[in-house]
Amino acid sequence: DGGITQSPKYLFRKEGQNVTLSCEQNLNHDAMYWYRQDPGQGLRLIYYSQIVNDFQKGDIAEGYSVSREKKESFPLTVTSAQKNPTAFYLCASSIAGEQFFGPGTRLTVL
Partner 1 sequence: GENVEQHPSTLSVQEGDSAVIKCTYSDSASNYFPWYKQELGKRPQLIIDIRSNVGEKKDQRIAVTLNKTAKHFSLHITETQPEDSAVYFCAASKGGGGSNYKLTFGKGTLLTVNP
What are the residues binding partner 1 (CB under 8 A)?
A: 1, 31, 33, 40-45, 48, 50, 56, 58-59, 90, 94, 96-104
Residue with Cβ nearer partner 1 (59 or 62): 59
Q: How many CB atoms lie within 10 A of CB 33?
A: 23
CB of 63 to partner 1, least distance (A): 20
Considering the complex, what minimum distance in angstroms separates the CB of residue 94 from partner 1? Answer: 6
Taking alpha carbons only, the member of 110, 60, 62, 68 closest to residue 93 is 68
* Integer Cα distance of 95 and 57 in angstroms: 19
Nearer to partner 1, 73 or 99 (CB): 99
* Amino acid at site 60: I
